[in-house]
Each structure stands twice: as C-alpha cells, then as structure tokens.
C-alpha cells in the first residue's frame, strides 16, 4: 500500500505536472509518456541479472534505484538553469526510473510467483489489489487537490516539491517493508539462466497464443490509452482534482470487485476471466464520445465499467503468465511477455500521436462536433473488438482448461528447463524401472528412457483434439505421443 503512495506522488499526473511546469512541448510530453513502455526492452537483461544475484536482492536494489532516480527533480525549482537543461534533467530522471522499475518489477513478479502458492494466487492478489487500490486512490485524491491548489494560489513548483518529498519518504518505507519478505528456501534463482527458453514461448502452443493476444491487445489499447488524461484536461476542462475523482471512482469499484474476481480466478481460471473482461473492455472507449465540457456525468459510467472490467483483467493478465511459465526459467518467460507488451504499447502510443496530429483539433459529423482524440477512442474500440475475437479463438480454442495448461507447463519442462514429453496425466512403464510419476521422471532423467507403453490414468481421457494439440506442442516426440 505504501508503494501506491509513491506512485501517486511521483508518476502519472505528477509527472505531467512537472512537464507542464518546465514548459515541455507536446513532443517532449509524448516522449515522457512513452518512456515506461520503451523501457521494457531491458526485460531480458533483467532476467539475466536475476539469475546471477537472485530475485529478492535484485528486486530490492532495483526498486530502491527507481524510487531515488526522481530525487533530483526536487531541486529543479531552485536552481538557476535554462528550461532546456531542466527538461533534459526531467527526461533523464524519468528514463532511469523507468529502466530500474522494469528490472525491479521483473524480479518481484518472479519472486512472488514462488512465494505465493498457485492455489492461493487468485484470492491473495485479489485482496492485495483491493488494499493497494484503496491506498492509491486516497493518495491520488490528495495529490490532485494539491496540484490544483498549487496552480491557482501558490507556485506550482512548491506543490510538486512537496509531493516529491512525500514520495521519497514513502519510498524508503516501502523498501524497508519489502526487505522483511523472505525468499523461499532454495529458490534464490542463482543458477545459470536457461537462455534456450527465450524462443521457447514462441514454440509452445499455449504461450504462443498468449503472445498473440498481448500483441493485438496492446496495439489496440495503446492507440488511445496514452491520451485519456490529455482529453480530460484539455478538451473536457477537468482539472487534476476531477481527474483524480474519476480515478477514485474506478478504484472504489475495483476494490469491491477484486475479491470476487479473485475467487472467480481460482474457480474458472485466468483464461476465461481474461476473455470475458477483454470483450467488455472493447466497448469502453466508446463511452468517451458522450462527455463534453458541459456534460461530465457520462464519465461516471465509464468509471463504473472500467473499474469492474479492468480489475478482473489486471488480475488475470498477472496470473496467466505465472501459469504458463515453468518454474525453471520463469524470469525469461515473464521477460518475453513483458517485452512484447511494452514494445507494442510504445508503437501504438506513437501511432496514436501521429493520427491525432494528422486530424484537425475538432471536426463535425452530422452536425455534432468531435475532438480529434475521440477518433482515437473509436479506432481503439474497433481494434479491441478484433483482438478479443482473436483471443476467443486462440486462448479458448479446444476447451483447454487453465488448470491443465499450468500442469502441462510444469510437466513438460525438466529441472534444467529442457522440454520433455507431456506426461502429466499418465504413468510410464519403463524397462527396468518401476512406474514413474512426473516428479520421479524428472529426478531420474539422467539419460534417454525407453518407453514400453503409456498407461492412461482413470481420470484422464484424451480426445482427438487434445492429441492433435499435443503433437503441435511436442513435435519432437511423435512416437511417444502415438502410444496409447
């Protein structure tokens, strides 16, 4: 929860406030907004560092560096330098904070994946999301009120410095609290990074489908998401306080919905929740066609729907990579997923800016005046519908359950991360050896095993569709797959 206070005091609207205070051009504003997405390219180096020093130590150091990278901003209102120099300092601080933030998040997610048992992840992260959202919204409301007060009555730089100081203090507290969490014994990840897994997500059927979803979904969302705050401030004339109130309303709904989504995740699985939320989120951008400077109440409708749907989507898109990634090499899988997401979002934000710049600031259709940014919302909605439709075919095709997907992921990866046959639902009769389960097979896999026959267990019945998927996922074991 303390980390949410840090975010409310140092990112989002506060960074926008710093940029406006320093007189940044629209081009620089776009660069500042794109930096967190562009920083995703360090995901794979972050996974490599995690393999060298361990997830917990790297997360603590990287998060601390990300917190303190913004410390020089507190001096900007008091130093005598040109606006250009101050703007470069701002860009450098945001770039460093973004890079270290990516490294810290990569290690933290892998760390939490081992710390929280899979059967409890939905409920745990649901409750955690609710608590963090409550703290974040309270802090965002106070930050928005302070920014509006600073713009109207005092030097805006003073308000920004006060918020920055609060963020630094909260950052120290959050790092101290993180240091109290342990790493599971024997899971320090100080082992050679299985780099052969970098391309493995693109070869596995279930992981490849998830990557396809990430590409199409983030391209669709990024076209408009980077311009929502600009639309509220410039076109709808909503100040920082009203914008914070919209965020608060979204958060209140998320708080109420997160525990319910958590239970649903445990019962139905991350895939189904992700699909349902994606379909609903596809129509959300269209709600921004109705508000105007004199008609703000439709924003409340968006807050209700966004809070409900993004709550479930956030939990599902966090848990599904943990299900797909094997325990050995989890950091690599998470790095690949995050890199794909970040690069696609950066590309989409840049494309959205080009489209908005090419359109007139306002235009009329059938006697109704629209802003150029509203055209982006329509485009984003159409693209989201296409991405959701594609996800229904790829993620839900064949009726594969989320639970079996996770079990298969653990089963067909050996202790060194190499791929083996998918043996989770079966037992093997091996010449000269007793019947082996998956754990026994992994422990004794010192050389090739000769399989005499595969005996299906009583609770598993594989159909033709599943057999075909198995053949796609494991083309190197066709003979073993055919033995029934």
CATH T-level topology, domain 2-399 = Growth Hormone; Chain: A; (1.20.1250)
Q: How does residue 377 score in pLDDT terms, banded at 50, 70 and 90?
A: very high
- HEC string of the chain equals CHHHHHHHHHCCHHHHHHHHHCCCCHHHHHHHHHHHHHHHHHHHHHHHHHHHHCHHHHHHHHHHHHHHCCHHHHHHHHCCCCHHHHHHHHHHHHHHHHHHHHHHHHHHHHHHHHHCCHHHHHHHHHHHHHHHHHHHHHHHHHHHHHHHHHHHCCCHHHHHHHHHHHHHHHHHHHHHHHHCCCCCCCCCCCCCCCHHHCCHHHHCHHHHHHHHHHHHHHHHHHHHHCCHHHHHHHHCCCCHHHHHHHHHHHHHHHHHHHHHHHHHHHHHCHHHHHHHHHHHHCCHHHHHHCCECCECCHHHHHHHHHHHHHHHHHHHHHHHHHHHCCCCCHHHHHHHHHHHHHHHHHHHHHHHHHHHHHCCCEEEECCEEEEHHHHHHHHHHHHHHHHHHHHHHHCCHHHCCHHHHHHHHHHCECCCCCECCCCCCEEEEECCCCCECHHHHHHCCCCCCCEEEEEECCCCCCCHHHHHHHHHHCCCCHHHHHCC
The pLDDT of residue 443 is above 70: no
Q: How does residue 57 score in pLDDT terms, banded at 50, 70 and 90?
A: confident
Average pLDDT, stretch 364-389? 89
More confident residue, 202 or 350: 202
Average pLDDT, stretch 42-53? 78
Where do the structural domains in the chain lie, given as residue ranges?
2-399, 420-482
Query: What pLDDT is recorded for position 276?
Result: 92
Query: What pLDDT is recorded for position 195?
Result: 67
Query: What pLDDT is recorded for position 69?
Result: 92
Least confident of 34-38, 87-91, 144-148, 449-453: 449-453
Least confident of 25-34, 193-202, 401-410: 401-410
């Amino acid at each position: 929860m303390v980390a949410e206070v840090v975010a409310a005091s140092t990112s989002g609207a506060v960074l926008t406030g710093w940029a406006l205070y320093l007189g940044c051009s629209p081009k620089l504003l776009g660069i500042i907004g794109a930096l967190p997405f562009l920083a995703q390219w360090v995901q794979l180096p972050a996974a490599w560092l995690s393999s060298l020093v361990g997830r917990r130590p790297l997360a603590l150091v990287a998060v601390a560096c990300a917190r303190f990278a913004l410390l020089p901003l507190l001096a900007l209102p008091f130093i005598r330098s040109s606006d250009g120099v101050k703007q470069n300092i701002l860009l450098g601080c945001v770039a460093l904070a973004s890079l270290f933030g990516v490294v810290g998040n990569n290690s933290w997610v892998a760390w939490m994946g081992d710390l929280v048992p899979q059967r409890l992840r939905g409920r745990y992260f649901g409750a955690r999301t609710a608590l963090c959202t409550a703290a974040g919204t309270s802090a965002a409301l106070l930050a928005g009120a302070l920014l509006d007060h600073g713009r109207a009555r005092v030097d805006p730089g003073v308000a920004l410095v006060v918020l920055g100081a609060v963020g630094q203090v909260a950052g120290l507290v959050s790092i101290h609290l993180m240091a109290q969490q342990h790493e599971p014994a024997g899971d320090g990840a100080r082992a050679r990074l299985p780099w052969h897994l970098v391309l493995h997500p693109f070869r596995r059927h279930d992981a490849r489908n998830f990557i396809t979803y990430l590409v199409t979904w983030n391209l669709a969302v990024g076209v408009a998401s980077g311009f929502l705050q600009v639309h509220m401030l410039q076109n709808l004339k909503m100040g920082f306080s009203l914008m914070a109130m919209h965020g608060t309303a979204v958060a209140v709904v998320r708080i109420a919905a997160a525990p319910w989504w958590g239970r649903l995740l445990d019962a139905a699985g991350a895939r189904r929740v992700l699909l349902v939320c994606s379909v609903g989120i596809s129509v959300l951008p269209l709600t921004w066609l109705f508000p105007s400077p004199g008609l703000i109440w439709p924003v409340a409708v968006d807050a209700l729907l966004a809070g409900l749907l993004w709550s479930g989507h956030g939990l599902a898109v966090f848990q599904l990579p943990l299900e797909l990634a094997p325990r050995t090499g989890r950091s690599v899988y998470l790095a690949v997923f995050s890199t794909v997401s970040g690069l696609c979002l950066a590309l989409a934000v840049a494309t959205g800016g080009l489209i908005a710049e090419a359109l007139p600031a306002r235009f009329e259709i059938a006697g109704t005046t629209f802003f150029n940014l509203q055209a982006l919302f329509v485009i984003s909605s159409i693209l989201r519908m296409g991405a959701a439709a594609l996800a229904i075919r790829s993620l839900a095709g064949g009726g594969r359950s989320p639970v079996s997907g996770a079990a298969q992921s653990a089963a067909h990866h050996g202790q060194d991360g190499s791929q083996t046959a998918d043996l989770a639902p079966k037992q093997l009769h091996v010449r000269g050896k007793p019947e082996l389960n998956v754990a026994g097979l992994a422990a004794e896999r010192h050389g090739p095993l000769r399989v005499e026959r595969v005996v299906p267990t009583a609770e598993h019945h594989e159909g033709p569709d599943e057999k075909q998927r198995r053949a796609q996922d494991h083309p190197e074991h066709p003979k073993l797959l055919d033995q029934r």
